[in-house]
Amino acid sequence: RADLAANRGDVATAISLLASLRVSVMTEDAQQLSSMGLLEASIAEARGEPADALRHSRAALTHVDAIGLLFGSAAWSMAARFAFQLHDDAVISELLEMLDAYPSGQVPVTLRIQRDLARAYLAGRAGEPGAGRAFESVIGRLRTNKNPFTLAHALLEYAGHLRDAGDEAALTAAVEEATAIGSRLGCGPLLDRAAAIAPARSPAQA
């Protein structure tokens, strides 16, 4: 319930439920601690505080050795998402190094896609000519994977790349698709992020 509230942008409810959890869940269980960290990250995201969200998601990721990479995939994905938003290339590189330390067969499919998204992001930041194709490949795989929330955020990463490339038509299409997904999911923070990336409209377009 707390996570759902945070994803809908209902910060007050999420904080209240988190406070109750802190009282009732007295545990050193790594999975519980990781989950609590992710909830704190979601609340920070709903507050519009990506730096705090990154800090909490990275703290949740410290439990990955105890809970395994499959259960830790949400923390990795969240940390990468907030690092994208903050343009923290150093953190993204650290996250990639972490996954590269695992044998390929031990990395869940969802994380392989997220890893390729991170690589596409860094390629775009470096101005590599194949970055756009890399983004498109990741987005195509996410459509097949049928995870709309992850797809929407990937579309926004791509939109940022398109903005830097000056491709306003493709940028608008990516943001509009992400916005439609956010509206369908009732995800306030996702909609806020899409609105921040959307190209400015002229008075004639408004």
For residue 199, name the pLDDT band (cuts at 50, 70, 90).
confident
Section 86-101 average pLDDT? 96
Q: What is the pLDDT of residue 176?
A: 97
160-189 pLDDT tens trace = 999 999 999 999 999 999 999 999 999 988
Q: What is the pLDDT of residue 201?
A: 58
List, as own/partner pairs, every contact residues 91-97 make where C-beta atoms lie below 8 angstroms and the sequence separation is at least 24, other chains included. 91/54, 91/58, 92/118, 92/121, 92/122, 93/122, 96/122
In degrees, rounded to 5, the angle at the alpha carbon of residue 197 between the alpha carbons of residues 59 and 206 is: 150
* Nearest one of 121, 182, 124 to 150, comparing CA atoms: 182
Q: What is the pLDDT of residue 27?
A: 65
Other beta carbons within 10 angstroms of residue 88's beta carbon come to 18
Q: What is the pLDDT of residue 26?
A: 58
16-43 pLDDT tens trace = 777 777 766 656 778 888 888 888 999 9
Averaged pLDDT of the chain: 89
Using the predicted structure, report yes or no on whether residue 206 has a pLDDT greater than 90.
no
User: pTM for this structure?
Assistant: 0.87
CA-CA distance, 70 to 108, in Å (whole number)?
A: 6
CA-CA distance, 43 to 78, in Å (whole number)?
A: 12
Q: What is the pLDDT of residue 173?
A: 96
Section 58-83 average pLDDT? 92
CA-CA distance, 73 to 67, in Å (whole number)?
A: 10
Using the predicted structure, report yes or no on whether residue 202 has a pLDDT greater than 70.
no
Section 108-119 average pLDDT? 95
CA-CA distance, 125 to 181, in Å (whole number)?
A: 26
Residue 88 gets which letter from DSSP?
-
Q: What is the pLDDT of residue 25?
A: 62
Q: What is the pLDDT of residue 197?
A: 92
Q: CB–CB of 9/189 below 8 Å?
A: yes
Q: CB–CB of 112/144 below 8 Å?
A: no
Higher pLDDT, 202 or 178: 178
Section 97-104 average pLDDT? 92
